[in-house]
Homo-oligomer: A and B are copies of this chain.
């Protein structure tokens, strides 16, 4: 996450690093600020100031804030890739596997700020919510083809439950959820996730 601050610069007014370096640095800063401030309060101006670039450069790369956020969500794809990768495999412990990987992503410093940004943005901005829905649907389709209604419903129930748990643990900080170890929390919800994914009749 903090790679933007670690890039070696010859000086604040010197030549910018190459195209992709600057673009990456902007994405790093944008990811952090979306997480810290939420979608609505993280403005292009704020992000530009924190990244030490001109706001026009951000618009040059990303057009507008909506596209910048969509790029943050789409380019930091380890989250979606890891989640998608947790679905195939032994059906007997798929609930445990999915719950473990999703909730672990929230504990890790590399992925936690992005998940915070998605959660805060999607609950406060209709535009961000729409982009999140589209990005999720695109990932699922590109990986597993068009899900049928039954699969889509199962995944949505799983996602809703895990999202609610992550919000309770990491944003609202409900004591009874915060006090649980990662392993205990996974153990308690795994049977639910298992049922949503595998029960013949739901």
- Chain A interface (Cβ < 8 Å from any Cβ of B): 38, 40-41, 119-120, 122-124, 129, 132-133, 149, 152-153, 155-157, 159-165, 167-168, 171-177, 179-180, 188-189, 191-192, 195-196, 202
Contacts and interface: CB of A to CB of B under 8 A. Distances in A.
> What's the dominant secondary structure at chain A's contact region?
helix
B188 A202 contact: yes
A133 B172 contact: yes
A160 B153 contact: no
Contacts of A129: 171-173
A132 B172 CA distance: 8
B133 A189 contact: no
Which of A163, A173, A196 has the most chain B CB within a 10 Å cutoff? A163
Given A124-B38, A188-B202, A195-B191, A176 B156 contact: yes
6 contacts: A120-B123, A122-B172, A123-B167, A133-B172, A155-B176, A160-B177
Contacts of A202: 188
A175 B152 contact: yes
Given A38-B40, A41-B40, A156 B168 contact: yes
A172 B123 contact: yes
* Top 7 A-B pairs, shortest CB-CB distance: A164-B164, A156-B176, A152-B176, A160-B168, A160-B164, A123-B123, A153-B176
